[in-house]
Structure 1
Amino acid sequence: MTVKLDFEECLKDSPRFRAEIEMVQTDVSELETRLEKLVKQCHAMLEAGRVYCQTSKSFVNGLRELGHQCSGEKTMEECLDKCSKKLSIILVAQEEVIETTQKTVKTKLQNFVKEDVRRFKDVRKEFERGSECLEGALVRNAQALRGKPHEVEEASNALLNARRTFRSEALDYVLEINVIEAKKKTDILMAMLSLMEAQAQLFQHGHQSLSEMDEYRLKLNEEHTQFVLNSAREKRDMEQRHAAIKKKDVSYDDSIMDFKPDAPNGIAMEGYLYKRASNAFKTWSRRWFSIQKNQLVYQKKFKEQPTVVVEDLRLCTVKPSADNERRFLFEVVSPSKSCMLQADSERQQQAWISAVQNSIASAFQEHREDTHSPRQRCNSVSASSLIGGGGGGGEQESKVCKALEEVQAIVGNKQCCDCGEPGPDWASINLGITLCIVCSGIHRSLGVHFSKVRSLTLDSWEPELIKLMCELGNLVINRIYEARIDEITIKKPHPTSPRGDKESWIRSKYVDKKFIQKLPETGRPALQRRNRALTQERNTQRPPLKPKPNRATLPRLPGLSPSPTDLVQKNNTHKEVEEEEEEDLSGLHPGALLYRSAALQNFPVMADALAHGANVNWVNVTEESSTPLIQAVSANALAAGEFLLQNGANVNQADSNGRGPLHHATILGHTGLVCLFLKRGADYNARDKTQKDPISIAVDTANADIVTLLRIAKMNKEMREMDGAFGQSGDETYQDIFRDFSHMASNNPEKLKRRSADPKSYPA
């Protein structure tokens, strides 16, 4: 330690000592001022450094986001990614330097000012106080008179004490001066040394990180040079093409895109057209139209969801229009609406008309080539019979064609159900009626919750759906929905009536239900009489149904929880069936009426109940919370099950035992219903209260067909999940198997009554 002041000199309290004391005090005061200023400057530097680091991080994030944006340019993406990573590493090192400076420089210097300099000032005050006491004692000692020995002795003692105190405080002050002088050197030097080491590490780390990119920088520099040359060459070529095109006449009509039905993007034709709105103002708007996926659609902006003008081009016609003063008009007419469009020129008008016509022809050609369409299957069956082929599959397909003819041959089905036009080619599958093309378009506009429309000649038909259509018909449904037509002044439209009259009639009939027989407040004798009349009328069209077994006689699996109906004696079975056929339904509300008629397979009564607002998923709490669909299963009523499903029945709604329709169909061995429910999305993994799922139940009952269907459905679902969200709807082999089972259940149900001889051959 360097001695700033000598201890012996402080005992003398000489003028030299006092002068040195003043110099030290001046130095310490100036040091304090400079250190306080330096601490403030260090604080400002640290805050600016933190702001710099935060801003730099934002800049690095911007580089990273720009790299993601340039994902299509490999060179730019790689360059931005590498630069952002290296800069992030350097920023981390800079943050470490800031923290080191905070700890070593600012904190050290701040502590020196607050602690050491303050201690020095405190000792200095004690020294100055002792100096003043000594000065006073010396004055009093000098003023003591010789003749007053008492005062002389008192002054001498006070001087002795003051001198002793002063010298002790002077020694402490000199020690503090020497200590702060030495500490000033060590603390300031240590702070500066830590700062220089942190800065050195920062730049060494940054140099090392950037040196690792030397080869990449050289490579990037070469690529940049090549990019500059290529850019200059491309710019020169574009300027030449621009000058050459500018010399041509650019006032010609817009180019017409040729009709391309096999375009890779699926868009056969596209371009701008004016569309007349259907509102009262009949305003015209310019929209981007396109023909794709057998539809005519338009959109205002590219990212908007396209608006469908025509859902199926096979159902529309196109023709030029001269009914308006505007030029280049053509009209696209579909069963549900008519759309007026305008092109920019006659050439474009003809091109769009040709494109729509070609799309219609292409759509029909594709449909004829579809081997699953009914008409194509009929043709293939006829051809196979001519050449002497015709296996089991051909026999089933011919039955499908024959069944389609049978639907059209039902009494009343040869005329449209709503307007009476002869030869209807369309049908509403949930209502069970046939329709003309105009009325079918109106039905389609009602929504699928009111009417589900299909073509009798263009769409494929499942056998159970054909059976359903044969169970109802136009006369039966009209007797329900037009029961009060004689009491109302509204006239039913005829084939030549305007479309608006037909639409108003259909909405009043099926949506508002203005013409159905109103239910009385107590009892339903009128409804009961009408239901009996409907049933009798249906029976005149086809043979009467055989009595269906009561649920009390249905078999149950061993180990499954018993039902109260299992306790009914077998000798009462036929009596109950007969009573059920003659049961008085007049006191039932629509839900219960639908429930009872589902077990009886009484389709007119079921349709009547739905027309009067019956809940298709109504629950009978007195019979294990069973539903109408489960009642249809108990009677093995395939067509009734299809009818309920088409009208919104929940295929997975379980009863109080946790068993859904698929459980009951599996327990009872109704293979056709199992096939139907699986096609409609039934959950084959659902477990009842005994923890049995349909697969285990089928294994326990040794029903080989149902085991096969359930396992095929499970495999098919697993394959779809493996294909991902955009996978196909299923393997064609599985679809063929389900189709064969459907035909067999509808046409040859006796072939499905097969059981395995050994139940253990189908392990769970």
Structure 2
Amino acid sequence: MTVKLDFEECLKDSPRFRAEIEVVQTDVSELETRLEKLVKQCQAMLEAGRVYCQTSKSFVNGLRELGHQCSGDKMMEECLDMISKKLSVILEAQGEVIETTQKSVKTKLQNFVKEDVRRFKDVRKEFERCSETLEGALVRNGQAPRGKTHEVEEASQALVNARRSFRSGALDYVLEINVIEAKKKTDIVMAMLSLMESQAQFFQQGHQSLSELDEYRQRLNEEHTQFVLSAAREKRDMEQRHAAIKKKDTTYDDSIMDFNADAPNGIAMEGYLYKRASNAFKTWSRRWFSIQKNQLVYQKKFKEQPTVVVEDLRLCTVKHSAENERRFCFEVVSPSKCCLLQADSEDQQKAWIRAVQNSIASAFQECREDTHSPRQRCSSVSAGNLLGGGGGGGGGGGEENGGYKALEEVQAIPGNQQCCDCGEPGPDWASINLGITLCIVCSGIHRSLGVHFSKVRSLTLDSWEPELVKLMCELGNTVINRIYEARIDEITIKKPHPTSPRPDKETWIRSKYVEKKFIKKLPETGRNPPQRRSSGKKSRPPTLERPVERPPLKPKPNRATLPRVTGLTPSDLVQKNNTSPHKNVEEEEEDLSGLHPGALLYRSAALQNFPVMADALAHGADVNWVNVTEESSTPLIQAVSANALAACEFLLQNGANVNQADSSGRGPLHHGTILGHTGLVCLFLKRGADYNAKDKNQKDPITIAVDNANADIVTLLRIAKMNKEMREMDGAFGQPGDETYQDIFRDFSHMASNNPEKLKRRSADPKF
């Protein structure tokens, strides 16, 4: 260690010693000032480094997000991802450099200033105090009178003590001077060495990380060169195309006005038109119109859901409009509203009118082709062959005039000759879940309510499945109005008539079906849970006497006494019924007056009493209500046990879950298969039943049908399975599956509704 001051010299307290002390004190003060400034500069550098790292990390995250956005371009995604990863590694190393600098430089220098320099100052103060004490003792000793021995002795003794204290303080001060001089070198040099080592490690790691990209950077540079050349060629081609197109007259483009009914995207015609609003101001707005799926729709922005102007082009007509002051106007008129449109030119006006007319003709042509297709006429032969004979011939032709046949049968029901809501005669629309007929105006209002309230279908234009016709014939306007207008005499709202304005009809219909203002309110007793019947006695058809007036519950013959499905085979059920002592046991009548709507729907479904079922639904019955006291059975399963085809269709149209299983894991399709109800199996398969679902015995409907030797049901299940496999296999090529599937199921539906005796269970060899 280098000796800054000599210890012997400090004992002499010479002027040279004092001068050297002043030099040392000045150096230490300057050192303290410079170190404090350096510590502040280091702190500022560290803070700036942290900000740089944080900003750089945000930049790297931006690169990574840009790479994800360019996921369609593999080269761009790979480039941005790789660069962001390497930069992240470098930033991590830079963060370590900042932390090392914080510990090795700033903290060490700050400690030197706060501890070593402060200790030096404290020792210096002690030295200066001892020096002043010595100087005072010397003065007092020199002034002591010769004749006063006592004062002389005191002055001499004080001088000795002061000199001893001074020498001790001077030696400590010299030692501290030499120590701080040596420590200044070690601490500052060590801090600088740590800083250089961390910087060297950082740059070495960064160089190594970037060197790993040498190969990739070279390849990327070559690709970039190719991109530049390709971009130059494309730019030249685009400039040539631009110059060629610029020479053309682009004031009007006839190509966009071509009508194409067989367009690949399904859009037969599209373009901009002005549309006059139906509000009081009659404002005009420019919208993008298109004809697609036999509908006229428009939208303001591409991602917006198109607004339907005409639901079905078969119900509208188009004509020129000369009533408005604006030019090139035409009207699209439907039964419910009239839409006034304006084209940009006379040619566009004519093109749009022709397009709408052609679309109307195409829609009617498609309807006629669907109705009179050769495949549909020969479908009965296919089903007849599968059934083992010619018994299926009655089903194929029944749908050839299906719309008009449905109109005749449905309008023959009492009360259906007038619209259910306004009374207009000759309604040709229907709500299939409510079972009522409607005029075209009321049908449009019903459609606006949503399918969870009303499912509207045309009695003349749409094809009708036989089970739907059968369902409509079970209900009717009189029955439904008896439920939904039960309190009409108590309400001040007046029922609309055929000539009432549309807003009045809409208010009435919403009050009637959505708000249900006119139905009888349920008493509190109608909200209690159902009670289980005594298991020791056989129940006979219950009478649903309730405080609320409603159509009487009259079970159909031989339907109410059918056994509830318990998972047994049909033969077991027949044997059980034949051996049960039903003549000698008293029957206990069940009081259902306190049932809540769900239980009421459950009981009436087994009895096929449609008015009571509709009443229960009107009062908020859950169509999927579960009876926990009877193996978690549902109303749909109860209807299956009664072989009630129309009741099942009624529940399905009102939202029943076709796959909801009971506590045995068996859904409606299982129960229909067990009981051999071929018509119901056909219905459930058409409504999306899962033919692969297994019960708790790990048996699916196909296995059950094979075990029960029911050839018809096995055929239906296997055809449904085969059709799904074909559809999945050919779906990528736009094939919907085998159309014969639809023909066969159509014939089974006809027989189930019109000739159910042809679908009775019969034994057959399961190995067919």
Shorter-chain TM-score range: 0.7 to 0.9
Alignment of 1:225-374 (within 5 A): 227-228=227-228, 251-252=251-252, 256-366=256-366
Deviation of 1:357 after TM superposition, in Å, equals 2.7
Q: Is the CA contact (8 Å cut-off) linking 2:674 and 2:705 kept in structure 1?
A: no
CA separation of 1:601 and 1:121: change in aligned 2, threshold 3 A: same
Partner deviation per Cα, 1:62-93 (whole Å, 9 max, x = no partner): 33334444445555544444443333332222
SS at match of 2:257: coil
TM-score (norm: length of structure 1):
0.76
Residues in 2 aligned to 1:120 and 1:680: alpha-carbon distance in whole angstroms: 96
Residues in 2 aligned to 1:101 and 1:508: alpha-carbon distance in whole angstroms: 76
- Residue 651 (structure 2) aligns with: 644
Structure 1 residue 23 and structure 2 residue 23: aligned? yes
Alignment of 1:102-501 (within 5 A): 102-221=102-221, 223-224=223-224, 227-228=227-228, 251-252=251-252, 256-366=256-366, 378-381=376-379, 396-398=395-397, 407-410=406-409, 412-413=411-412, 417-418=418-419, 426-433=429-436, 440-441=443-444, 443-456=446-459, 459-472=462-475, 493=498, 500=502
Deviation of 1:480 after TM superposition, in Å, equals 7.5
- Residue 4 (structure 2) aligns with: 4
Deviation of 1:43 after TM superposition, in Å, equals 0.6
Q: 2:621 aligns with which of 605, 615, 623?
A: 615
SS at match of 1:91: helix
Gaps of at least 5 residues in structure 1 are 536-543, 560-565
Residues in 2 aligned to 1:410 and 1:575: alpha-carbon distance in whole angstroms: 44
SS at match of 1:304: coil
Residues in 2 aligned to 1:342 and 1:596: alpha-carbon distance in whole angstroms: 58
Residues in 1 aligned to 2:48 and 2:311: alpha-carbon distance in whole angstroms: 64
SS at match of 2:259: coil
CA separation of 1:567 and 1:459: change in aligned 2, threshold 3 A: closer
Q: Is the CA contact (8 Å cut-off) linking 1:667 and 1:697 kept in structure 2?
A: no
Alignment of 1:708-719 (within 5 A): none
Residues in 2 aligned to 1:670 and 1:630: alpha-carbon distance in whole angstroms: 12
Most deviating of 240-249 and 170-179: 240-249
Residues in 1 aligned to 2:240 and 2:61: alpha-carbon distance in whole angstroms: 40
CA separation of 1:321 and 1:693: change in aligned 2, threshold 3 A: farther
Q: Is the CA contact (8 Å cut-off) linking 2:673 and 2:705 kept in structure 1?
A: no
Q: Is the CA contact (8 Å cut-off) linking 2:399 and 2:463 kept in structure 1?
A: no
Deviation of 1:477 after TM superposition, in Å, equals 6.1
Residues in 1 aligned to 2:262 and 2:301: alpha-carbon distance in whole angstroms: 25
Most deviating of 434-443 and 348-357: 434-443
Q: Is the CA contact (8 Å cut-off) linking 2:396 and 2:746 kept in structure 1?
A: no
Q: CA RMSD in A?
A: 5.4
* Matched residue type, 2:193: L
Q: 2:558 aligns with which of 537, 544, 547?
A: 547
Q: Is the CA contact (8 Å cut-off) linking 2:377 and 2:397 kept in structure 1?
A: no
Most deviating of 122-131 and 298-307: 122-131
Deviation of 1:752 after TM superposition, in Å, equals 5.6
- Residue 59 (structure 2) aligns with: 59
CA separation of 1:45 and 1:501: change in aligned 2, threshold 3 A: closer
Residues in 1 aligned to 2:28 and 2:486: alpha-carbon distance in whole angstroms: 114
SS at match of 2:357: helix
Residues in 1 aligned to 2:486 and 2:101: alpha-carbon distance in whole angstroms: 95
Residues in 2 aligned to 1:52 and 1:109: alpha-carbon distance in whole angstroms: 24
Residues in 1 aligned to 2:113 and 2:593: alpha-carbon distance in whole angstroms: 104
Residues in 1 aligned to 2:487 and 2:148: alpha-carbon distance in whole angstroms: 148
- Residue 566 (structure 2) aligns with: 556
- Residue 539 (structure 1) aligns with: none
* Matched residue type, 2:621: N
Partner deviation per Cα, 1:134-161 (whole Å, 9 max, x = no partner): 3333333434455444444444443333
CA separation of 1:737 and 1:152: change in aligned 2, threshold 3 A: farther
SS at match of 1:410: helix
Q: Is the CA contact (8 Å cut-off) linking 2:484 and 2:618 kept in structure 1?
A: no
Residues in 1 aligned to 2:76 and 2:511: alpha-carbon distance in whole angstroms: 66
* Matched residue type, 2:101: T
CA separation of 1:573 and 1:397: change in aligned 2, threshold 3 A: farther
* Matched residue type, 1:548: R
CA separation of 1:698 and 1:463: change in aligned 2, threshold 3 A: farther
CA separation of 1:327 and 1:213: change in aligned 2, threshold 3 A: same
Residues in 2 aligned to 1:546 and 1:354: alpha-carbon distance in whole angstroms: 58
Q: Is the CA contact (8 Å cut-off) linking 1:519 and 1:527 kept in structure 2?
A: no
Q: 1:753 aligns with which of 723, 743, 761?
A: 761
- Identity, % of aligned positions: 75
TM-score (norm: length of structure 2):
0.76
CA separation of 1:366 and 1:630: change in aligned 2, threshold 3 A: same
Alignment of 1:654-733 (within 5 A): 670=677, 672-673=679-680, 676-677=683-684, 679-680=686-687, 695=700, 702-703=707-708
Residue correspondences, number: 727
CA separation of 1:664 and 1:250: change in aligned 2, threshold 3 A: closer
CA separation of 1:515 and 1:107: change in aligned 2, threshold 3 A: closer
Most deviating of 707-716 and 647-656: 707-716
Residues in 2 aligned to 1:39 and 1:431: alpha-carbon distance in whole angstroms: 86
Deviation of 1:740 after TM superposition, in Å, equals 7.0
Q: Is the CA contact (8 Å cut-off) linking 1:413 and 1:474 kept in structure 2?
A: no
Residues in 1 aligned to 2:677 and 2:321: alpha-carbon distance in whole angstroms: 57
Deviation of 1:51 after TM superposition, in Å, equals 1.4
Q: Is the CA contact (8 Å cut-off) linking 2:28 and 2:117 kept in structure 1?
A: yes
Most deviating of 458-467 and 246-255: 246-255
Deviation of 1:107 after TM superposition, in Å, equals 0.9
CA separation of 1:554 and 1:757: change in aligned 2, threshold 3 A: farther
Deviation of 1:116 after TM superposition, in Å, equals 1.1
Partner deviation per Cα, 1:543-575 (whole Å, 9 max, x = no partner): x95322426x4463489xxxxxx9999444799
Partner deviation per Cα, 1:155-195 (whole Å, 9 max, x = no partner): 44433333333223222222221111111111111111221
Residues in 1 aligned to 2:595 and 2:59: alpha-carbon distance in whole angstroms: 75
Residues in 2 aligned to 1:453 and 1:576: alpha-carbon distance in whole angstroms: 47
CA separation of 1:499 and 1:570: change in aligned 2, threshold 3 A: farther
Residues in 1 aligned to 2:274 and 2:714: alpha-carbon distance in whole angstroms: 58
Q: Is the CA contact (8 Å cut-off) linking 2:643 and 2:677 kept in structure 1?
A: yes
Residues in 1 aligned to 2:204 and 2:514: alpha-carbon distance in whole angstroms: 84
Partner deviation per Cα, 1:661-691 (whole Å, 9 max, x = no partner): 6676567565544554565466889999xx6
* Matched residue type, 2:58: S
CA separation of 1:574 and 1:253: change in aligned 2, threshold 3 A: farther
Alignment of 1:527-606 (within 5 A): 545-550=556-561, 553-554=563-564, 556-557=566-567, 570-572=580-582, 597-604=604-611, 606=613
CA separation of 1:400 and 1:595: change in aligned 2, threshold 3 A: same
* Matched residue type, 2:267: I
- Residue 536 (structure 2) aligns with: none
Residues in 2 aligned to 1:164 and 1:515: alpha-carbon distance in whole angstroms: 114
Most deviating of 396-405 and 119-128: 396-405
* Matched residue type, 2:207: H
